[in-house]
Amino acid sequence: MEDNQSDAGKGTTMKSTIGNQLHLSLFGESHGAAVGVVIDGLAPGIPVHPEFIQHQMDLRKPKGKISTQRQEADQVRILSGVFEGMTTGTPICLMIENQSQQSRDYAKSKDLARPSHADYTANEKYRGYQDYRGGGHFSGRLTAPLVAAGALCLDLLKSKDILIGSHLCQVAGIEDDSFSADFKQLKEEISRMNETYFAVLNPKAQQKMQEAIEQARKQGDSVGGVVESVVLHLPAGVGEPFFHSIESTLSQLLFSVGAVKGVEFGDGFALARMTGSKANDPFRMENGRVVTSTNHNGGINGGISNGMPIRIKTAIKPTPSIYQPQQTINLATYENAELKIEGRHDPCIVHRARVVLDSMIAIGLVDLLIERYGLMWFAGDPK
């Protein structure tokens, strides 16, 4: 195909790096040797707990019939930046080997662009040089190192009593109960969800969601859903005006995750239908602390935390790779074609993506907290 951009190729293609104070560089492909991340900007003297990293990795792993049958050990190797169980302050490289590739599944249909996946757009951008196997750099596999990096940040936040938790508030149109407005109960729900693989508050809703996923799988189809996340005990005053606001920082990270198609803070789109008298969150003093009676704005005013729980909803689309025949184009000939997908895919991503979203929120908040309090706020005492 003719390239009609006169300046095509002049820009850099290295855009897998993010962060203002805490820099993250993501690398790897689904069927390459490994996936991983380099984290630069964490203070020295922070304890690293490999068992917690592994616990988080296990929450992202596919399990049972409601997930892809690709089974990876997902063992995280710490290649640098950690010595005697503590961060050194220099770049941390986390690497996860790929062990369960079945690239032949992709060879047959390598020129057939999967609708709603990145095959066509990656081919346009990378001129056919992209690693197409298993979605290459655009695979959900790339979220494994993000969970490993997120585990370091979640641990760090926990050391300051800042807690993050999420549940699947909707899957295939089936709704879960809401998180509690009572802080004590919310704290208990967060810790319960953080120990649960399929994170749903109401067991009946959980069963119905799993049945809907199983039914979609049998029909060669897929389903999507919404994840609700909360951040508890984030102090007031965190976040920068305009471009590094809590909303702009977290939404960039959340939208970086494949299949995320919507992010809202507080009551989000519903606020647009409210009047000011309903939407405003009145301030009051409670036991010497500033609180708001309601939390329609999700704990954020002017891009800055007000001390109330941060509330975020993230919409995840149905998995693009489905087993029903689909109309597409052939990228080698640019002719119409029919695609019948092989390979192993998730009939639903939502339950596995939950821990990825928690990780992205943690990474963004650590970045903003370093901006607010300085790098050494997190550092250990000098030896």
Ligand X SMILES: Cc1cc2nc3c(=O)[nH]c(=O)nc-3n(C[C@H](O)[C@H](O)[C@H](O)COP(=O)(O)O)c2cc1C
Which residues of this chain interact with ligand X, rule CB under 6 A? 68, 117-118, 135, 138-140, 143, 257-259, 317, 319-321, 345-346, 349, 352-353, 356
Whether 44 and 380 have beta carbons less than 8 Å apart is answered as: yes
Nearer to ligand X, 258 or 303 (CB): 258
**How many Cβ atoms sit within 10 Å of the Cβ of residue 294?**
14
C-beta of 266 vs 318, nearer to ligand X: 318
Rounded (5°) CA angle 218-204-269: 85
Structure tokens at 212: 């809907």
d(CA 152, CA 358): 12
User: Shortest approach of ligand X to residue 6 CB, angstroms?
Assistant: 27
Closer residue to ligand X (CB): 74 or 189:
74
Our CB check for ligand X shows the closer of 256 and 297 to be 256
Taking the least distance from each CB to ligand X, the nearer of 126 and 373 is 126
CA distance 284 to 298: 16
The residue among 69 and 159 lying less far from ligand X, judged by its C-beta, is 69
Closest CB 295 distance from ligand X, rounded Å: 28
Cβ of residue 139: shortest distance to ligand X, in angstroms? 6
Closest CA to 34 of 79, 99, 93: 99
| Closest CB 357 distance from ligand X, rounded Å | 9
Count of beta carbons in the 10 Å neighbourhood of residue 219: 12
Q: Minimum CB separation from ligand X for residue 322, in Å? A: 8
Minimum CB–partner distance for residue 352 and ligand X (Å): 4
Helix axes 143-158, 50-60, angle to 10 degrees: 130
Q: Pick the closer one to ligand X by CB: 64 or 302.
A: 64
User: Distance between CA atoms of 369 and 89, rounded to whole angstroms?
Assistant: 17
Tell me how far apart the alpha carbons of residues 33 and 74 are, in angstroms, rounded to a whole number.
13
Question: Which CB sits closer to ligand X, 264 or 267?
Answer: 264
Cβ within 8 Å of residue 129, ≥6 positions away: none
Q: What angle do CA 159, 162, 164 make, to 5 degrees?
A: 115
- Whose tokens are 């305009």? That residue is 242
Tokens 């087993």 — which residue?
A: 323
Please report how many Cα atoms fall inside a 13 Å half-sphere around the Cα of residue 377, on the Cβ side.
15
Q: In angstroms, what is the minimal distance from the CB of 23 to ligand X?
A: 22
In order, the DSSP letters of 314-378 are EEEPPPS--SS-EEEEBTTT--EEEE---S---SB-HHHHHHHHHHHHHHHHHHHHHHHH-GGGS
Q: Which is nearer to ligand X, 190 or 353 (CB)?
A: 353
Q: How far is the CB of 257 from ligand X (least distance, A)?
A: 5
Q: How far apart are CB 153 and ligand X at their closest, in Å?
A: 18
Closer to ligand X by CB, 244 or 344: give it. 344
Would you call 30 helix, strand, or coil by DSSP? coil
Cβ of residue 293: shortest distance to ligand X, in angstroms? 36
State the residue number with the nearest CB to ligand X: 140
